[in-house]
Amino acid sequence: MDTSAAASRPLAGPRTVYSAEHELFRDQVRRFFERHIIPHHRQWERDGVVPREVWREAGAQGLLCPMLAEEYGGAGADFGYSAIIIEEIGRTNCTGPGFPLHSDIVVPYIADLATEERKRRWLPAMARGEIIGAIAMTEPGMGSDLKAVRTTARRDGDHWVINGQKTFISNGQNAGLVIVVCKTDPGAGRKGISLICVEEGTPGFTKGRNLEKIGLHAQDTSELFFDDVRVPAENLLGEENRGFSYLIRNLPQERLVIAIRAAASMEAMLEKTVAYTKERKAFDQPIFEFQHNRFKLAEAKAQAAMFRVFADHCLALHLRGELTVELAAAAKLLGSEMQNRLLDDFLQLHGGYGYMAEYEIGRAWADARVGRIYGGSSEIMKEIIARTL
């Protein structure tokens, strides 16, 4: 048997979710990562941020906002093109560029809900990478409870006046446009939430420190502060007090993003761990030859293959507009939990070297841990699924 050929085949057999055009796009994405991302990522991890010129280059090559309509600077493509970018981030563990957050989470809110004038003002620049997007949802002490949002927006004539604080905001340092989740009716709980856009440079809007994390070191994550920030009334997305329903509507895609990256990460790290264990020797033989290690890797391959089938099924459903809230929650729950468990096993098989930062498995292991927290914690995913029982 040609084991090298077997290793290069998809774990779960041929994938049918992508077309030939999708795979051509994957070739383009890989070339971009090999040239513009992979050689520089370790430095960005030390810097704590990805340079803005990388975003502009990604925009110039069509890697940002592929689903955005052509009239606003996008490609008018389906989510499969976004999924390929997410998979390449997972495969290379180049977690710094927050492209999926920008393209697949922030931009859809604006494309779906902003006024026509605001769409034409922001979206073409976002597709070019000149404006980087973020969404400011989490607040100190709030966790996953959206009804506990304390940031307020008060209507004053033709403006909204925003006051509050946000934390753990990805793309926070680079952000040129932030969707702020705030209370426009503080006494109405979830029914009083609105989404309002704030542009970088608006008086009263300041960015705090770039937060130091245990993983995702190249991805800028910030505190944001709003002190009597006045923005035009037209910066409201959709209708006043409808923000919670908009967030719920878009969360399945956000959770699918996390699941897709988990699947690609597990496959890539499994391949690297198999290669390492076949080269590394202990007691005069490759550590792969110990039955315990081979069986551990065999089990990991079976589990990763099983999740790949499920993730592709969820992707296919989403491409048809049929992915449900609970199925997206299941994909996010299973993918993030399995990724953390398998990467921990892979790190163990690397021994002491696995704990060294220069080895990719250690960085991937640390980067994966947040998957069980952001996008809704594993506990919240279980609650969503439990409601369907």
Domains of the chain with bracketed CATH? 11-127 (1.10.540.10), 133-241 (2.40.110.10), 245-386 (1.20.140.10)
pLDDT one-digit tens code per residue, 348-376: 999 999 999 888 999 999 999 999 999 99
pLDDT one-digit tens code per residue, 282-340: 899 999 999 999 999 999 999 999 999 999 999 999 999 999 999 999 999 999 999 99
pLDDT at position 161 is 98
Contacts of residue 308, Cβ cutoff 8 Å, sequence gap at least 6:
10, 11, 12, 15, 263, 267
Say what the pTM is: 0.92
Contacts of residue 335, Cβ cutoff 8 Å, sequence gap at least 6:
258, 259, 260, 262, 263, 307, 311, 371
The dihedral over CA atoms of 94, 30, 97, 143, expressed in degrees to the nearest 10, equals -70
Cβ proximity of 242 and 109 under 8 Å: no
For range 23-51, the mean pLDDT: 97
Sign, Cα dihedral of 313, 314, 316, 320: positive
- How far is the CA of 206 from the CAs of 25, 155, 156, in angstroms? 38, 21, 21
Of 315, 313, 260, 308, which is closest to residue 12 (Cα–Cα)? 308
Catalytic residue chosen out of the listed positions 254, 279, 289, 358? 254
C-alpha 233/C-alpha 15 separation (Å) is 47
pLDDT one-digit tens code per residue, 220-236: 999 999 999 999 999 99
Q: Is 337 a catalytic residue?
A: no
pLDDT at position 14 is 85
pLDDT at position 76 is 95
Distant-in-sequence contacts of 204-213, Cβ < 8 A, 24+ apart: 204/162, 204/228, 204/229, 204/230, 205/178, 205/229, 207/172, 207/173, 207/175, 210/48, 210/49, 210/172, 210/173, 211/167, 211/168, 212/48, 213/370
Q: Which token pair is 180?
A: 């702020």
Q: State the chain's mean pLDDT as an integer.
A: 94
What band does 62 get if pLDDT is binned at 50, 70 and 90?
very high
